[in-house]
């Protein structure tokens, strides 16, 4: 089975998770596509499409939203999985449902919120200020959920 992992990552966390998923999937070819660096994604030859995005200000990355909108018909003909990186755990499910079309969520084999990171060294001043004001955090925080990543992979491989 050929798998495409299509992702957008503001500070690198989603890219890190995409690579982790790629390395843990069993069997078949897995190709990563950073949607921000890919002009035209030809995914018709793939059997499975995994879509990953960070959540920023309550929404997925605009490039992922546009990718989904442009390719909805093709996505609904493939196996699909959705994963998001977000630090606000209690709002993650709501943000996923708000960001992705209901028809795609219903079609997806797995939808997982896999945690996130506050990478202060990669944030600009405004981002650092807002994170500190909203969360009280003043330093980098790593909070990826390896169990959720494993669960996502297990559900995809079933």
pLDDT value of residue 121? 80
How many domains are there within the chain?
1
Per the domain annotation, does 123 fall within a domain?
no
Domain-located, residue 130:
no
Could you tell me which residues are beta bridge partners of residue 8? Answer: 53
Does residue 135 lie within any of the structural domains? Answer: no
Q: Does 81 have pLDDT greater than 90?
A: yes
Report yes or no on 78 lying in a domain.
yes
Residue that has been written with the tokens 């202060």 in this structure:
120
Which two tokens mark 144? 């990826």
How sure is the predictor about 41, in pLDDT bands with cuts at 50, 70 and 90? confident
What HEC string does 125-150 produce?
HHHHHHHHHHHCCCCCEEEECHHHHH
Which pLDDT value is given to residue 26?
Answer: 87
Determine the structural domain holding residue 65 and report its residue range: 3-116+145-157
71 sits in the region (left: phi over 0; alpha: psi -120 to 50; else beta) called: alpha
Instruction: Give domain status of residue 133, yes or no.
Output: no
The tokens describing 40, both together, are: 């035209």
CA 110 to chain CA centroid, Å, is: 12
Nearest-angstrom CA–CA distance, 123 and 145: 22
The answer as to whether 131 is a domain residue is no
Query: Does the residue 29 lie in any domain?
Result: yes
Flag whether 50 is in a domain. Answer: yes
pLDDT class of 12 with cuts at 50, 70, 90: confident
pLDDT on residue 39: 65
Span 87-141, pLDDT tens digits:
877 778 888 888 999 999 999 999 999 988 777 788 788 877 777 777 788 887 7
| Residue whose C-alpha is closest to residue 101's, from 131, 71, 77 | 71
What is the CATH number for 10? 3.40.50.360
Whether 64 shows a pLDDT value over 90: the answer reads: yes
């Amino acid at each position: 089975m050929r798998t495409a992992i299509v992702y957008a990552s503001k500070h690198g966390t989603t890219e890190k998770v995409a690579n982790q998923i790629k390395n843990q999937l069993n069997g078949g070819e897995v190709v990563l596509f950073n949607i921000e660096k890919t002009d035209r994604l030809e995914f018709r030859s793939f059997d499975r499409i995994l879509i990953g995005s960070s959540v920023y200000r309550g929404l997925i990355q605009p490039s992922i939203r546009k990718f989904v909108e442009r390719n909805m018909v093709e996505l609904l003909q493939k196996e699909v999985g959705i994963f998001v990186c977000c630090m606000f755990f209690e709002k993650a499910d709501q943000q996923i449902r708000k960001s992705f079309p209901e028809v795609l969520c219903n079609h997806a084999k797995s939808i997982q919120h896999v945690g996130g990171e506050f990478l202060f060294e990669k944030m600009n001043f405004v981002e650092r200020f807002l994170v500190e004001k909203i969360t009280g955090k003043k330093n980098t925080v790593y909070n990826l959920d390896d169990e959720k990543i494993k669960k996502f992979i297990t559900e995809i491989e079933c």
